[in-house]
Structure 1
């Protein structure tokens, strides 16, 4: 460092050393532009940042010299020095720093000679102005105006200044009269440095709600993939086993595998098929056995509906041994009468 600072006045050497020391003391360093911030607002911003970030004023030449002397990736920060630069240091991450600085911004009227930060659009419709010289002023600024109903009206929506173009005096005056404040005034982050990486503001300007939605969707898709591909994880082991159990039970029922845990389901399925076949036979004019006719009549009297999830999950109420025996004997008798 002495090689670069040996010919500097003592106070300038101290400034350069302080900047380098802050890079060692804090996890994140940022370059900000403070152009156009009123002194009272800057003082309030300093108070709001106290305990979270340290704002350091320094001449651009000394800031650039400090970056060059530190060398390495830090030297690349010099490319982002512009406007009324200052340095900000914090132990928060760069994304939180960007969000914090965005909260310091307020809208202000444009001044002649400033560049438009975005397209400045004047919407069509009535204004609060009475007929007078304001009509000519609007038209000179490129805003089509007319008098209607005793008021000045803007005839069509117009882009007065495109993003990046310089605002002239007439445009600035008319925009102020229309109470259009296009200028963001606050601490504008130009670049942030952390662990050898320089972050541009475009990289840090993320929409948290969109980002969270993408993470949630990715988690859901990963869960579904793990479940359907039977990839066991702590989160999917239970659902995978549950899915396997249901599929195995359904296979046993469809294949009529008479295993004790599915025998009742197989009989119930056969009984339902028997009733359906009997109903079709009755509609075709066939005379049914008395026991089958009772079963068909009982089925027809109950509206067909799918059980609710709660009903499907909850075990059926316990029946007496006598009722179970009657149901089983009735079902088997019906099957026997239908199929001989």
Structure 2
């Protein structure tokens, strides 16, 4: 097969131009990636946290909000929340009994499935359980969220909106018009239906209307305490949970 013009130009640069200017040509396909170094750093950080803190908790999360999670981190100082790829974190803890860096820690690794993270802390277990069971925060649902409530608007004026927003509201899908300078809905309108997935336009309308249909929540899945060991905290025993996870993988 004849060489392409691109191959000929690359070869000309490597053989003629580069030596003339004392240039070193490095193929992009041969450059080192930072991925391995980053993974090794995460593994090292996890192991340092295991040594530093007395307990570890696996928790799942729904409707994650970075700004709210920032507040949670502040509340739990000097504890540490650890987000990352489950498999990499699992390597840091130990994926089996032979690799684990503490007794029964491989059981924590087996709990790292789906959207979850770790909390490393020295706080007493009772305090951890109480906080997680009581914490939740309402927020605006985003595009792609499944809503648990139907929101309907009745025909008539929408006085909370300035007249300048009327064209934009129509772009979002609301059947509106201006009547004597007042944004008015010309017919009944269903913004969203219970169990439906929100579109970007629906999410924006709900935000403008002030409807907070998403709940930012953290739920404990399992815990591990030095000198005590591993415990499931989501109401399922290990055998039941492993069987459920295996069925999901299939």
Paired with 1:135 and 1:43, the residues of 2 have a C-alpha distance of 32
Paired with 1:86 and 1:154, the residues of 2 have a C-alpha distance of 51
Using CA pairs under 8 Å that are at least 6 residues apart, name the structure with larger relative contact order, 1 or 2. Answer: 2
Map of 1:1-340 to 2, 5 A cutoff? Answer: 11-21=41-51, 25-26=54-55, 29-33=57-61, 35-38=64-67, 41-50=68-77, 54-60=79-85, 61-65=87-91, 66=93, 68=95, 69-70=99-100, 73-79=107-113, 81-82=114-115, 85-89=117-121, 90-93=123-126, 95-102=129-136, 105-107=137-139, 109-112=140-143, 114-116=144-146, 118-125=147-154, 126=156, 127-128=158-159, 129=161, 132-133=166-167, 136-137=170-171, 140=173, 151-153=183-185, 158=190, 160-163=192-195, 165-185=196-216, 188-189=218-219, 191-193=221-223, 196-200=230-234
Paired with 1:20 and 1:97, the residues of 2 have a C-alpha distance of 22
Contact 2:57–2:220, Cα closer than 8 Å, also in 1? no
Q: Shift of residue 72 of structure 1?
A: 5.1
| TM-score of the pair, normalised by structure 2 | 0.52
**Which string of whole-angstrom CA distances, capped at 9 and with x for unpartnered residues, describes residues 11-46 of structure 1?**
3442231354367x12x51324483312xx544332
Indicate how the Cα distance of structure 1 residues 188 and 199 shifts in structure 2: closer, same or farther if over 3 A, else same.
same
Indicate how the Cα distance of structure 1 residues 159 and 95 shifts in structure 2: closer, same or farther if over 3 A, else same.
farther
Determine which structure has the larger helix proportion and give its number: 1
Contact 1:30–1:88, Cα closer than 8 Å, also in 2? no
**Gap runs ≥5 in structure 2:** 1-35, 237-250
Paired with 1:132 and 1:58, the residues of 2 have a C-alpha distance of 42
Contact 1:29–1:88, Cα closer than 8 Å, also in 2? yes
Determine which structure has more spread, i.e. the larger CA radius of gyration: 1
Aligned length: 178
**SS of match in other structure, 1:167:** coil
Paired with 2:130 and 2:186, the residues of 1 have a C-alpha distance of 41
Contact 2:132–2:220, Cα closer than 8 Å, also in 1? no
Paired with 2:84 and 2:178, the residues of 1 have a C-alpha distance of 52
**SS of match in other structure, 2:145:** coil
Q: Shift of residue 161 of structure 1?
A: 4.2
Indicate how the Cα distance of structure 1 residues 197 and 99 shifts in structure 2: closer, same or farther if over 3 A, else same.
same
Indicate how the Cα distance of structure 1 residues 135 and 11 shifts in structure 2: closer, same or farther if over 3 A, else same.
closer
| TM-score of the pair, normalised by structure 1 | 0.40
Indicate how the Cα distance of structure 1 residues 74 and 135 shifts in structure 2: closer, same or farther if over 3 A, else same.
closer
Q: Shift of residue 96 of structure 1?
A: 0.6
Indicate how the Cα distance of structure 1 residues 190 and 145 shifts in structure 2: closer, same or farther if over 3 A, else same.
farther
Paired with 2:235 and 2:200, the residues of 1 have a C-alpha distance of 30
Q: CA RMSD in A?
A: 4.1
Q: Shift of residue 77 of structure 1?
A: 1.1
Paired with 2:209 and 2:202, the residues of 1 have a C-alpha distance of 11
Indicate how the Cα distance of structure 1 residues 135 and 35 shifts in structure 2: closer, same or farther if over 3 A, else same.
closer
Indicate how the Cα distance of structure 1 residues 183 and 120 shifts in structure 2: closer, same or farther if over 3 A, else same.
same
Paired with 2:190 and 2:149, the residues of 1 have a C-alpha distance of 9
Indicate how the Cα distance of structure 1 residues 157 and 192 shifts in structure 2: closer, same or farther if over 3 A, else same.
farther
